[in-house]
Amino acid sequence: MFGALAELLLPARCAGCRVPGPPVCARCAARLAGPGLAVAARPPVWAVGAYEGALRSLVLAHKEKGRTALSGPLGRALAGLVASRWAPGPVLLVPVPSARRTVRRRGRDATLLMAGAAAAALREAGWAARCVPVLRQRRGVAEQVGLGAAERRANLADGLRVARPVAGASVLLVDDVVTTGASLAEAGRALRAAGAVLEGAAVLARTEPGKSRDYL
């Protein structure tokens, strides 16, 4: 709420580099339109860029500071990534859910907003794409910030379920940042258990690449 209020009252600035102007300036928008970065995982995971600089600032402003006006630009960046890395076809974009307490604290699900904007941009480009927030938490999980790889896996193990039928549907996971891949791994497990065809994942930012991961 405070972030949205600040957007109305404070002079407009780019959330990526702080120059006066729209929520994402032309220079930062160009950085969102690159070829993407691969994450060592199967099925394929692609990120818009590295979690640093302007992209890190954009992610944090959208997720933590309530800059909801960024949902559109970030969603369009994800749509461009999807269109450049996957073949056109009917696809469901499934956002990875945040912990319930995190959503309550922020007052919104930032990843869901971004995934919805991405699906809308893909439809404008001729794709049969829909955002379907079908993942639900089976139990409470801790926030992932500060946890190591093994702790993240234990925190999320068998923590998600699929709330609506997705059997046979082609699915792409959507998230903001991939760190260890634990969130994508658990989301992928739940979707495959429900019969979905997991095509991969599109995320905004990739932290330092680690060892190869298989989230099937």
H and E: helices and strands count for the chain: 8, 10
The number of beta carbons lying within 10 Å of the beta carbon of residue 98 is: 24
pLDDT of amino acid 104: 81
| Residues 201 and 173: beta-carbon distance below 8 Å | yes
Find the mean pLDDT for residues 86-112: 89
**Rounded distance, CA 151 to CA 113, Å?**
28
According to DSSP, the residues that pair with 205 across neighbouring strands are 49, 177
Residues 2-214, CATH architecture = 3-Layer(aba) Sandwich (3.40)
Q: Which pTM was predicted? A: 0.86
**Rounded distance, CA 24 to CA 7, Å?**
13
Helix (H), strand (E), coil (C) string for 152-216? HHHHHCCCEEECCCCCCCEEEEEEEEECCCHHHHHHHHHHHHCCCEEEEEEEEEECCCCCCEECC
- Strands 135-137, 160-162: pairing is antiparallel
Question: What are the residue boundaries of the structural domains of the chain, listed by start?
Answer: 2-214
According to DSSP, the residues that pair with 37 across neighbouring strands are 47
Residues ≥6 apart with Cβ < 8 Å to 139:
159
Find the mean pLDDT for residues 20-29: 95
Handedness of CA 58, 61, 63, 68 (dihedral sign): negative
- Tokens describing residue 48: 């818009």
Rounded to 5 degrees, φ, ψ at 165 are -60, 130
144-190 pLDDT, tens per residue?
A: 555 555 665 566 666 899 999 999 999 999 999 998 888 999 999 99
Q: Say what percent of the chain tops pLDDT 70.
A: 82
Please tell me the total number of residues recorded for the chain in this structure. Answer: 216
Compute the CA torsion angle 172, 176, 180, 184 (nearest 10 deg). -30
30-45 pLDDT, tens per residue?
A: 999 989 999 988 899 9
Find the mean pLDDT for residues 57-72: 94
Handedness of CA 128, 129, 130, 134 (dihedral sign): positive
